[in-house]
């Protein structure tokens, strides 16, 4: 009898967990369904953003990345990718207490004929970074990690924007 109750408890616990996950909006990452099957990306393959984007498209869709614009169904033009660091707050002694990190990524998507599928758009992400000169190396590392996280977020947002194109 105890084995049956244990089995029922497990089933109920699994059902409760599934209900909680479904209720919070959780869903597994699936394949992106792009309207285009061959994409040219206007970023160097050896750049961090370029390699992240290519990896996400290869692993998350059936779209092929092509090296020649003439072979592409769609062309992703990168209009800008910049990072900025500005002072957010200072102490009464004039020492920096916080920085604001900003990454801007501008792009557009067009088809082979030049028709815009996504007009020039910009993704802007910011992160605040507390600063303490006693921990300079640790804060430098934290800054690099924040930029890396922003880059991953931009790639994910870009994937969603590319998937929003329904027809070429």
Task: Say whether both 138 and 119 belong to one domain.
Answer: yes
Task: Say whether both 3 and 44 belong to one domain.
Answer: no
Over its C-alpha atoms, the chain yields an Rg (Å, rounded) of 22
Q: Is residue 128 part of a domain?
A: yes
Contacts of 26 (CB under 8 A, 6+ apart): none
Give the pLDDT confidence score for residue 129 in this predicted structure.
93
Task: Say whether both 18 and 58 belong to one domain.
Answer: no
Q: Is residue 168 part of a domain?
A: no
Residues of the chain with pLDDT under 50: 25-29
Contacts of 148 (CB under 8 A, 6+ apart): 48
Taking CA atoms, 131 is separated from 42, 55, 59, 60, in Å, by 35, 33, 37, 37
CATH of the domain at 155: 3.30.160.150
Tell me which residue range forms the domain holding 159. Answer: 31-163
Give the pLDDT confidence score for residue 125 in this predicted structure.
96
Task: Say whether both 38 and 64 belong to one domain.
Answer: yes
Give the pLDDT confidence score for residue 83 in this predicted structure.
95
First and final CA of the chain: distance in angstroms? 62
Structural domain count of the chain: 2
Q: Is residue 138 part of a domain?
A: yes
Task: Say whether both 88 and 105 belong to one domain.
Answer: yes
Give the pLDDT confidence score for residue 11 in this predicted structure.
59
Task: Say whether both 13 and 46 belong to one domain.
Answer: no
Task: Say whether both 24 and 40 belong to one domain.
Answer: no
Q: What is the pLDDT of residues 73-94, one digit of tens each?
A: 999 999 999 999 999 999 999 9
DSSP class of residue 143 equals H
Give the pLDDT confidence score for residue 26 in this predicted structure.
44
Task: Say whether both 83 and 6 belong to one domain.
Answer: no
Q: Are 165 and 39 in contact (CB under 8 A)?
A: no
Task: Say whether both 90 and 7 belong to one domain.
Answer: no
| Strand-pair partners of 127 | 101
Task: Say whether both 144 and 76 belong to one domain.
Answer: yes
DSSP class of residue 73 equals S
pTM: 0.76
d(C-alpha 117, C-alpha 27), whole Å: 27
For 57, counting Cβ atoms within 10 Å of its Cβ (0-12 exposed, 13-18 middle, 19+ buried), the class is buried
- Measure the CA angle with vertex 105, ends 142 and 39; round to 5°: 120
Task: Say whether both 16 and 87 belong to one domain.
Answer: no
Task: Say whether both 20 and 64 belong to one domain.
Answer: no
């Amino acid at each position: 009898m105890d084995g049956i109750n244990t089995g029922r408890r497990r089933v109920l616990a699994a059902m409760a967990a599934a209900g909680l996950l479904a209720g919070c909006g959780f869903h597994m990452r699936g394949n992106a369904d792009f309207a285009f099957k061959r994409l040219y990306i206007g970023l160097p393959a050896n750049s961090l953003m370029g390699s992240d984007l290519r990896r996400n498209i290869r692993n998350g869709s059936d779209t092929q990345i092509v090296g020649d614009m003439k072979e592409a169904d769609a062309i992703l033009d990168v209009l800008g990718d910049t990072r900025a660091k500005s002072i957010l707050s200072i102490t009464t002694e004039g020492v920096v207490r916080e920085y604001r990190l900003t990454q801007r990524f501008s792009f557009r998507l067009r088809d082979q004929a030049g028709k815009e599928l996504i007009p020039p758009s910009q993704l802007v992400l910011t992160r605040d970074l507390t600063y303490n000169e006693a921990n300079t190396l640790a804060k430098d590392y934290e800054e690099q990690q924040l930029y890396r996280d922003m880059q991953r977020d931009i790639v994910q947002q870009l994937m969603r924007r590319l998937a929003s194109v329904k027809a070429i």
